[in-house]
Structure 1
């Protein structure tokens, strides 16, 4: 069912559009008598298609369109006005309207246009098919478009910087990601190596990939990420560094005297961020009780994982290593449900994925002992995190161990790094 909102201060105009839409199946129609009411309705519910009058009291169509587009980016807004002038049309289109119709509405033209709008909306809502051309290793359900930068000189790298950071892009952690890629890019250019940066996106994610052809040692990349972009969600292969970034769906609506008053609950939802320090007691108060049973279950998982690690140290094999992975997977599954710890869950999942790639010929005595020791330390930290955040609730910041746990996951992988890589350290790679 396509949800349609008619915004017009004239009762007869709203009635006319209602009658025209009656002949179109699969449409649910709502009405608003001015722009402010329309924005208030959009705070509470989503609309697929909005017919927006321009000249209205309290809040005109220009202001309403601007605010609604900040609330609902994918909503299709069609301007309706008795003013058939280019200035009004251009202004509405620049604010986010996708078409402009003049009143009185021609019934045949309106019917044709609406059917086209509905087809476009249906395509927007349709999941993107998986294709073999998708480059990012996170998700195959991305838009068919991509953006590619072929970097062979510093001017091209500067163009990449400007494209992403010169203007609002509404992508969380975008600046950190671009700055890191820029720093890696400078090093590659100084070492006379060209490279490619590719971006793919879905409705709520952006995937940015640096194709470096194995020129930078992976442990250098990981340590620099830990230092400069610790919250990054990334996958590192021999020839490509891939980032997953979240779209910022928060509203930037400003409450003005003549503007809509957004409810306190709506503001709380729209302004939610995971970057703020949050004490354990406050966090537990806002955590669903149903999660606490899963947190309690982690104690027995800790004991089982401890035993599995010791078994692996005594008898290192693919089988005993996979038992460790299975136990850590239960931790990762719980963390995935706790949205505030998504980065931590991602780090543990990445560690699990790495451990499953190890082969028995890599299980040298020294490496096995070091791996077992580091996994036990990681497990101890996880137990401490669970105790201080969820049991005693003494942690002043629920994320107090994030950096340490992320570092532990990276250092585990470093045990098996190839020491013959080209770059011996990170001193030559510049960040700012």
Structure 2
């Protein structure tokens, strides 16, 4: 249904893996969207056969199963994308549009995208759509920050230093614009290759040295006027990290097509799997670090930001919400004591939702602390999923309570030194440490070993 609503795509459907292979032989589609779990022949085997016979065919795997090994196996045979359900309609549309543009680029076919006048000075060949944001407060700043980050993640699966710099610049300019003017506007234009962000201010703004340094780092990809800023971002990268481990700069790809698509229907559910029991002789489950998790662990920021400068720039409502977390300090300890005295699933879930969940909702309003919010959210989900196992093993529960006590003390210290005392030289000094600590709690309680999914990775540092 999503594909039928798109222009320039011809669509056919197959009901299982064998029919998919047969249709690929007869019809030679440009793109195949395939389920993993199907009768007669599963998506992996069907994709393996098709890629061997027709290596140029683009295959997108779509599945409800979160299986790092299957995802790795799919990538090894050349599957272009592995998308988890529930389906994000915009993500599917965007992936198909990008694959179509790459196919046309491969064939050397190019087409003027729009006759509309572009706002940005970088490129006049833009798509007809424009995305507009009215920036008036901290919430709207977060909305744009999340949107641009998601668009980046949808289209660029490698680390990109230019994006890190641009994100910091966006946030700096939005804060200045709201602080000095009360509001501002952002207009996003795009080609199939790049995003063009125009930031309009009601009147000229005074830039801080940090903003000027970030603009200088972006070089020709950022242009600043008195009351407007233009930033260009690539949506594809073919560069690899150099031997020094530096992140690659973004680069570019192109175009548009009328490809055919096979969409095999989901026809079977996976067989239920029994829960393995853990004994001293049972090998530890290996948690494979996802790309976004590794990036958060290695996350770095272009320049240090002192707490005293940071607190002056964030909105009062957001600051009040963070300071209100102080009321959770006693509740944190009380709920842990309750867990220790009454070993119940309900008490663990109450801690995950009523304490960790409150922290996550508050920190989500802070653009700079996505790693910490993600870590606490992941930990809360882990505790709820493993609550029955935890309450069944007293020693494991005792260890968990001890680790969570330390985590709570660290969060209190983090909150005090950044938002109350404001004596921290760099607000990001504990980001990776918190994320690592939460992962280690999952590792210890879940009897897991943590590994990277990069064969050439030299291992992760934990705190």
Query: Which structure: larger Rg?
Result: 1
Considering the TM-score relative to the shorter chain, is it more than 0.5?
no
TM-score bracket relative to the smaller structure: 0.3 to 0.5
For normalisation by structure 1, the TM-score amounts to 0.41
| Higher RCO, 1 vs 2 (CA within 8 Å, ≥6 residues apart) | 2
